[in-house]
Structure 1
Amino acid sequence: MKLLPLARQAEVTNGWLRERLRAVLPEVMRRARVDLWLVVAREYNEDPVLPSLLPAPMMGARRRTMLVFHAPEGGAFEALAIANAGVGLDGFYTPMWDKTMLAEAAEDQWACLRRVVAERNPKRIGVNVSAEIAFADGLSKSEHDALMAALGPELAARCVSAEEVVVGWLSRRLEGEIEAADGINALAHGLIAEAFSPRVVHPGVTTAVEVAWWLRERARSLGLGCWFQPSVSIQRRGEHLGDLGSSPDAVIRRGDLLHCDFGLHYLGLATDTQQNAYVRRLGESGPPAGMVAALAKAKWQQELLAAEMVIGRSGNEVLRAARAAMARAGLEGRIYTHPIGYHGHGAGPMIGRYDNQEGLPGAGELRLQDATLFSFEMFVEHALPEWDGQRIKLATEQCVAFRGGEVHFLGGRQTAWHLI
């Protein structure tokens, strides 16, 4: 598996940033009726949206970084920076402050911000404060107080939550990003296939936790990061070895059902994948018929959810419709699907949670938009005849693109058991 050199990765992601600032953000702001958006963050206390707005190789705020976006109705869009010169924003943002590392500016940073905002005289100013959406709540208490003081009463009174802008910016994907996400997910699937193979798993010797750490080490060897610790779970006839998502220090045996949860970051995009493997008993050529039937149910569950994904529906509406479809089909299980993108658990409409199948306030009320990515996360329960009717949870997670009102499975899809 060959990944792009870091410099080439920067070229790709910077190209996406230029296009997103040109084509995505103005549309998102105008849809939200926010004609000016402020992102203010200090070094080591990053706003969660800030990294998505910074070109590579800039890795975070420098001292205090202020970004101003102006999208007036009928006027030209502006992306402005109020930050020290030479920190990496040049070419993407128009500099509005003349402070360098060696020379002080004629006005301080907050005074510059007030001047820039006042000159544009916006009707609605979006700021990152939100009770429901964490991605839109990145303005710390002290920075919020300083911002309101700098703006003064008249401009401060025009400030509104930038929730809709933040969610739209983080969730909307370019066509090039969707194409790249397909390959990135294929890479993740390939690493899982390698983990669930005799190259890694030696029945009677290897433990589940060793396979989980192998996935983490293998990703690192390729120069990739995991955004959470991988897990490898075991389900075994007649025994309970921990819930899904655990990595027991138990030796893998023939006849076991293995499950993994694995997420990468590459080119600024996250993956999140759960797949399943069967460790064949001596003399077996494949999984028992009951396991084949269980995987067919899991695929059906994914398809029932895909059929309910409709532009304009809320996450809660999709959840209710999909659960009703499951009930009609006689499928038992849960759906806890989430957006994915810059963040693994991304911005946008949540479709259930593992511990909440009734609907969610806030994120569950957000509505599906086109050109977005989701991680279809769910499980079905199935009684295995070969295990004397013991019930198993077959959990799957598959990244999809929601584009043109249709669901596209990214990087292929698990349609058969990994066999060890």
Structure 2
Amino acid sequence: MKRILPILLLLFAFSLSCSPPVQETPKPAADWSDNPWPEIRKERINRLLPEAMRAARVDCWLVICRENHNDPIASHIGGENAGGTAVFLFYLDEEGFHSLVFSPDGEATALDELDIHEEVRRVERGVSTLEEAAAFIRGKNFESIAVNSSESNALADGLSYSQRLQLEEVLGDEARKLISSTDLVYEWLSIKLPAEVEIMRQAAQLASDFQYEAYAMIEPGKTTDAEVAKFLKAKMAEYGVKDAWHPDQNPNVNSGPDRGHSHATDKVIMPGDVIQIDFGVKLYDIWVSDIQRFAYVLKEGENEAPADIQQHWQHGKAGSRVALAAMKPGVKGVEVDRAQRVLMEAAGSEYVMWSTGHPVGYVAHDVGPNLGGAQSPSIRPAAQKELKKGMVFAFDGFHAWKRADGTTKTISVEEMAVVTENGAEYLIQPQEELILVK
């Protein structure tokens, strides 16, 4: 173990010398009306989806969309406004990639005008779109037909039980070709286009900026964790952005011992506290960020954090840097986690149950490799997946210690990074020093 640590630190230093400089994103205006999603979605379908289908060895993907209880993938394929049952087909043949929709006549005009799909076929009132799609499929002789039934990925599990029964009935013998879309959805959603990364860069910068402002409004001995959270909610309303995850726990502000994923409480912030804010915003109602910033509340007569707190901070920051250095195409998620665990053990960190990181994009815990599994591989199967260019992660630099009262406090400085051709780079400037609350 002692021989491994210097090697990791050397690799980390080398990666920093070779990494491109981090570009800070200017704070955008509070206007999100010009949504780039329609064009980005179209590019994702026509550029990334064929690649994902080939990677998952799928030659046809069938998605059923409907009103009020829609498939979770609906907005990604243009089916979010479905009324009656619509069937979306994506397939590969000798001529290339195709997208074909069997749409009820009442919604077909608007869907066709979006110009997302190669063809939108109108299905007359009283005629089953499922039967029309099944007739088309029987004529194509596909080897496999992926549908959204998945045990491991909620975004690939949108096909209801009754829809599955109806589909199998109209397909007849072709139903034996139905397979899960788990791998296909994984391959497609885990990669983000450069334009999407830039939007997430903005979301990350906003989340970071708001946290610095929140720390500046704290009055030790008066301000509560919940009041800091309320301040951040007000900033979100001012800028017209939404919560990156459930509003009850976004943000999580905690000036006491570890609480895990939680809501902010009425604890009063006191001198000597180490404060954690876990916070993210959603832009255009599509893309999210997940950023944590840490602060120390100065005691009377202090101009800097005590030596032990500074040391804990440096250990946590080093963990983030080593994790970033380990992130590159072809590396498994578990290897990124393991790189940090080696450093944590050498630094004397207490046990930390959480994974080093997770994919982030359309949701805070998105589809892609899990940066974990070094401690409990059986519960993190996605940790065995390889990183690819275009994947975006939120990940923590960990260090945990026992407080005087026997409880545990964890520094988990959370940053966001995108995997590049040869490595990974932070989306925004990472936190370099503990924020000091006077």
Alignment TM class, shorter chain as reference: 0.7 to 0.9
C-alpha change, 1:241 and 1:404, in structure 2 (3 Å) is closer
Number of aligned residue pairs: 400
- The superposition leaves residues 294-343 of structure 1 with CA deviations (integer Å, 9 ceiling, x where unpaired) of 22111111122223334334333443454245434554453511111111
Secondary structure class of the residue paired with 2:96: coil
DSSP-derived class of the 1:97 partner: strand
Match of 2:17 in 1: none
Contact 1:295 / 1:415 at 8 angstroms: preserved in 2?
no
Q: Does the alignment pair 1:22 with 2:40? A: no
* The one of 8, 16, 37 aligned to 2:34: 8
Measured in 2, the distance between the counterparts of 1:149 and 1:50 equals 23
TM superposition shift of 1:186: 0.8
Which shows bigger deviation, 244-253 or 409-418? 244-253
Q: Map 1:6-405 onto structure 2 (within 5 A).
A: 6-9=32-35, 12-54=36-78, 59-72=80-93, 74-83=94-103, 84-88=107-111, 90=113, 91-99=115-123, 104=125, 107-153=127-173, 155-198=174-217, 201-226=218-243, 227-228=245-246, 229=249, 230-235=251-256, 245-267=262-284, 268-328=286-346, 330-334=348-352, 335-336=354-355, 337-352=357-372, 357-377=376-396, 379-382=398-401, 392-405=409-422
Tell me how large the CA RMSD over aligned residues is. Answer: 2.7
Deviation at 1:287, TM superposition (A): 2.2
Which structure shows the higher helix fraction? 2
Shift of 1:197: 1.0
Q: What is the CA–CA distance in structure 1 between the aligned matches of 2:312 and 2:108, rounded to whole Å?
A: 59
Residue of structure 1 equivalent to 2:8: none
Q: CA 1:59/1:281 → structure 2, altered by over 3 Å: closer, same or farther?
A: farther
Paired amino acid for 1:112: E
Q: What is the alpha-carbon distance in structure 2 between the residues aligned to residue 59 and residue 418 of structure 1?
A: 43
Q: In structure 1, the residue corresponding to 2:216 is in which secondary structure?
A: coil
CA distance in 2, matches of 1:353, 1:310: 17
Shift of 1:293: 1.7
Contact 2:278 2:292 in 1 (8 A): yes
Q: Deviations over 1:325-383 (max 9, x none)?
A: 543455445351111111111001112379x6445354333332221001103531146
Shifted more, 272-281 versus 185-194: the winner is 272-281
- Match of 2:305, SS state, is coil
TM-score for the superposition, normalised by structure 1: 0.86
Q: Tell me which amino acid in the other structure corresponds to 1:85.
A: A
**Separation (CA, whole Å) in 2 of partners of 1:294 and 1:324:** 16
Which range moves more in the overlay, 339-348 or 374-383? 374-383
One-letter amino acid matched to 1:265: K
Q: 8 Å contact 2:315–2:344 — kept in the other structure?
A: no
Gaps of 5+ in 2: 1-26
Aligned residue type for 1:276: F
- Secondary structure of the structure 2 residue equivalent to 1:69: strand
Instruction: Give me the whole-angstrom Cα distance separating, in 2, the residues matched to 1:243 and 1:330.
Output: 21
**How far 1:95 moved relative to its partner?**
4.1
Alpha-carbon contact 1:338-1:345 (below 8 Å) kept:
yes
User: Contact 2:208 / 2:292 at 8 angstroms: preserved in 1?
Assistant: no
CA contact (8 A) 1:333 1:379 kept: no
Q: Give the number of the structure with larger relative contact order, counting CA–CA contacts within 8 Å between residues 6 or more apart.
A: 2
Q: Is the 8 A contact 1:304 1:326 kept in 2?
A: no
Q: SS state of the match for residue 157, structure 1?
A: helix
Stretches of structure 1 that go unaligned for 5 or more consecutive residues are: none
Q: Is the 8 A contact 2:328 2:424 kept in 1?
A: no
> Contact conserved, 2:63 with 2:88, CA < 8 A, in 1?
yes
Question: Normalization by structure 2: what TM-score?
Answer: 0.83
